[in-house]
Amino acid sequence: MNTTTFRFYLVFLYAILVLYIGGIEDAISHGGAMGYEQPKVNYYNGGNGKADYNVEHFFRGEHTNNWALLVCTSRFWFNYRHIANVLGFYRTVKKLGIPDSQIILMLADDMACNPRNSYAGSIFNNENHKLNLYGDNIEVDYRGYEVNVENFIRVLTGRHEPEVARSKRLLTDDKSNILIFLTGHGGDEFLKFQDNEEISSHDLADAFKQMWEKKRYHEILFMVDTCQANTLYTRFNSPNILAIGSSKFGENSYSHHSDPELGVAVIDRFTYYTLEFFESVDPHNVTLYQLFNTYSPQKLQSHSEYRTDLFNRPLDQVPVTDFFGSVMRADLTPSTNVNEQKNEKEETTINNNNSNENIKRKSPKTKQISYRITEKPTSIQVKNNNDNESNLFNSKFIVSSLIFLVVFGLLSWSSNFVKSNLILNTNDLKDLKSKTK
């Protein structure tokens, strides 16, 4: 065998080997190569015996309750989008299980009843007008001029006047996770309230410090959608606070689109892409790290940044439902409704002047603790890929091999090597016939 023939077959064998290895890698990626399967992890779900494949069961926090404080600090018709921002968050957290009793909603103006609103009683964050954010079941806790810096600080610190209703109070404890969302007009380390007063980053830092000292939270997710939003959390020094803003120092926070019928912008970019994320994923199976990575400068036209030095958990181990959803816990409730057991009976005979009656006294009932699940567990159904597992010689490998052989044959048929070594000419055929005779 000469050198040319050797090279020809070497290239052929090399190509077959490449295709074979590719088939092995493809089979392994599907968990079916050589008969091996990818490991599966089962999670206990309320005793129903079904497997759950969601992030919540992997990285559940130590909190026992969730609260949300949603604040729009702007009034006047041209700030319509700020109301829509807050109501979009309000709808999302309610959809994920936080009840109205644990949501404090502060709206500085009532855009739904504004005379300029051509859709009376409705607020939309999209120009197609398919989703009314105001709806029939909205509960506004602070509205109009009640939305000011003083009331906001009082809500955070819990320093209310005695006559303030419980529905207006943030009744949190040291096991509460709190989502705080602010939107409006701001600047370098300040946020305006109704174009009348401002709250500074120092005020916020001091309020959070009081909350931590009074054990009013376990963890806080602080989100701000305003101009130069990232400057609002620079003074924070209390533990367990995760903060993110829509724009860095010197940048504006822009609206996403306008409604030609209303004549105003209806939502900001940061809020729009946050809500879009929740609509496009399974919220029980994603982390804050995935959410924060969706805020690209190309989408926002600004640079969203987050601060994690005060937070003691890695973001890829924090489910979004730790702040945007409700928790499921087993409460211990004392139950006195127990089956009466006649174990020990003390009978005492008492002589009464009026009548001789025998009175039996029983020993007091003992209290037992009964366990009950206060909320129904959430399960995520995941399709099983066992039926689709690929073996070593899968269809992709076979098709690729056939295509390669056809192309390789066509190319080699036209080569000088094949013509000189493999294709028999007429003289070769005459010599072959003479030899056979």
Distances (CA, A) of 269 to 29, 298, 307: 38, 11, 20
| Sequence-separated (6 or more) residues with CB below 8 Å from residue 107 | 72, 83, 86, 140, 142, 143, 147
Chain center to CA of 276: 11
Burial class (CB in 10 A: 0-12, 13-18, 19+), 160: middle
Report the length, in residues, of the chain. 437
**H-helix or E-strand containing 1?**
none
Alpha-carbon span 285 to 55, nearest angstrom: 5
Cβ-based neighbour number of residue 153 at 10 Å: 16
What is the token pair recorded at 132?
Answer: 């009314």
* Identified catalytic residue from 63, 82, 185, 218: 185
| Sequence-separated (6 or more) residues with CB below 8 Å from residue 27 | 33, 34, 390, 391, 392, 394
How large is the angle between the packed helices 395-413 and 3-29, nearest 10 degrees? 160
Known active-site residue 303: no
* Identified catalytic residue from 57, 72, 82, 227: 227
- Taking a C-beta distance cutoff of 8 angstroms, is the pair 81, 118 a contact? no
| Sequence-separated (6 or more) residues with CB below 8 Å from residue 419 | none
Distances (CA, A) of 323 to 49, 88, 191, 224, 244: 27, 15, 23, 15, 13
| Sequence-separated (6 or more) residues with CB below 8 Å from residue 72 | 82, 83, 85, 86, 106, 107, 108, 109, 147, 183, 184
Alpha-carbon span 182 to 149, nearest angstrom: 12
Known active-site residue 113: no
Alpha-carbon span 173 to 170, nearest angstrom: 9
Write out the catalytic residue numbers: 185, 227
